[in-house]
Structure 1
């Protein structure tokens, strides 16, 4: 989540975070409004998972290259105009595999692990692209599906064609992707996306409480939330 010229820009992380915890979104809003400092947290386990995720993604990219496919990587980590243009140029040129494609539409932006060319016409010609994401989990989680929906929607705006499918490549699958029909999740995605946009549109931050949930294990705000729960425990009336 970032604020540029009074507009709040959002990512898949914000979408997934809000679905898991509205309090997380509230804290992030306070950060971009300058009323709260961004937390600094180092978790060795999370660092190990990030490293494993990077290695899995790189192994898949190496597999694609060794299969003889034309692979281009979009450098950098941001979603500035230059990286979006580079991604568009690669799509217009019909490159088979685009690594870390920079996607942007409206208030949303993100980097897709892989954009893979398929033989469905789009504004570019007789081809278009679908999103492939690499994940460590053997079972695809709801947050991953929402991320695929978001990236597919941004991709649709750029290529003027809605991708029919998006794909997940997990470890121990010999890089065979699991495919998901985006139309099956469209209603849920629209509802989730609208909820995030609504609470981040010109809001100074609401009064929320850190209700515990599974996302706390990987949340950068967990230490802050634990402190608040100790200082102000939730009381219930019987």
Structure 2
């Protein structure tokens, strides 16, 4: 089994953003019939930045308007990603497989997309490109659904999900996205797919396969935290995912969640009011200008070059929670920091004075 790197890095994030921003590929949470409908993109966004979930929710509820801005290099990455997908589909056609492509249907036409996809699955089409999967609460458009010989409860065949990715290293967000697709697919065909596939560039398009069950606990954990962060999905009625989402989220947290989430454990461990903390995703996020303006207005400690989150927490505990207060912090330090050396904190204090 191929190794999965559970790290967010700017290039991989840019590739995800470019693909989710492309016209018919854009799938974000929205308010439908009084209920918040979530999408695969929302899982990756929540993992990258909890504050992004807060902002997207406000847009879905009509409380805010999303900025009309995109990182300059996204168009190039988007074109490369779409070319990679076209080449993969051409490769499948050359193998004699029947490929039905639904990319001409806009993502806003969800009902039509779901019906067309189901019809192709019922006919046993070899490959379905840009189909749609949904259950009313979640929606997604996997790059490819491939028929496999294993029977499902519904048909004498079944399908597995494959996504074309430019990144050479598979990211946690990719596994989360494909895990959601696999869950939705399992509801349709009555049988959970055994594998999910990532198709990176390369001769022969040798895919990387991952066993769905091996990542199920991690997927349920992040999914439950997102549902809890979104809050009541049905205004004036039942909440998304059930009446007690908090209990559901706590129940979904596996005992070994830490080994899956690694660096993200602290980011998704609690549900609370969010702040635009600077993260890797900021480099390509449409909300960057607004969040950056808020940090500057707040004189936030993240404006001090090279300061770590742990150091910011310590300065806040010392009542030096702004750049101005930090610059005025008496030297020598009166207290020993909980982590690291006094010298490192003195350097941060001097940096704040620049």
> Which range, TM-score by smaller chain?
over 0.9
**What does residue 101 of structure 1 align with?**
131
CA distance in 1, matches of 2:156, 2:46: 38
1:77 is the counterpart of 2:106: yes
**Do residues 192 (structure 1) and 258 (structure 2) align?**
no
Contact 1:8 1:201 in 2 (8 A): no
- The 1-side partners of 2:132 and 2:164 are apart by 16
Contact 2:99/2:127 (8 A) holds in 1: yes
Task: Give the deviation of 1:172 after TM superposition.
Answer: 2.0
Contact kept? 2:30, 2:61, Cα under 8 Å:
no
Check whether the contact 1:117–1:127 (CA below 8 A) recurs between aligned residues: yes
**Counterpart contact for 2:70–2:285, Cα < 8 Å:** no
**How many angstroms apart in 2 are the aligned matches of 1:161 and 1:46?**
37
Q: What is the CA–CA distance in structure 2 between the aligned matches of 1:67 and 1:134, rounded to whole Å?
A: 18
Partner of 2:346: none
Aligned to 1:230: 296
Three-state SS of the structure 1 residue aligned to 2:175 is helix
Alignment counterpart, residue 211 of structure 2, candidates 168, 178, 181: 181
Q: Is residue 121 of structure 1 aligned with residue 151 of structure 2?
A: yes
Moved more, 76-85 or 144-153: 76-85
Distance apart, 1:173 and its partner CA? 4.3
Superposed CA RMSD: 1.6
Unaligned runs of 5+ in 1: none
- C-alpha distance in 1, partners of 2:106/2:88? 19
Of 136-145 and 31-40, deviating more is: 31-40
User: Does 2:279 correspond to 1:213?
Assistant: yes
Q: Which runs of 5+ in 2 are unaligned?
A: 1-28, 236-271, 302-315, 319-354
Q: How much has 1:31 moved relative to structure 2?
A: 1.3
1:159 aligns with 2:192: no
For residues 93 and 284 of structure 2, what CA distance do their matches in structure 1 show? 33
TM-score (norm 2): 0.64
Tell me the alpha carbon deviations over residues 32-85 of structure 1, each in whole angstroms, 9 at most, x when there is no partner.
222222111032201111110000001101111111101111241325112101
Please name the residue that 1:7 is paired with.
35
> Is the contact between residue 128 and residue 145 of structure 2 (CA under 8 Å) also seen in structure 1?
yes
8 Å contact from structure 1 (residues 10, 107) kept in 2: yes
Matched residue SS, 2:91: helix
- Residue in 1 that maps onto 2:64: 36
For the residue of structure 1 that corresponds to 2:142, the secondary structure is strand
Contact 1:91 1:124 in 2 (8 A): no
More strand by share: 1
TM-score using structure 1 length: 0.95
Shift of 1:22: 0.9
| Equivalent-residue separation in structure 2 for 1:71 and 1:124 (angstroms) | 21
Contact 2:71–2:286 (Cα < 8 Å) also in 1: no
Q: CA deviation at 1:101?
A: 1.4
Deviation at 1:196, TM superposition (A): 1.1
Contact 2:147 2:158 in 1 (8 A): yes
Q: Does 1:45 align with 2:96?
A: no
The aligned length equals 237
Select the structure of larger CA radius of gyration.
2
- Of 92, 98, 120, 1:90 maps to 120
Please state if 1:169 is matched with 2:199: yes
* In 2: Cα distance, 1:62 partner to 1:4 partner: 36
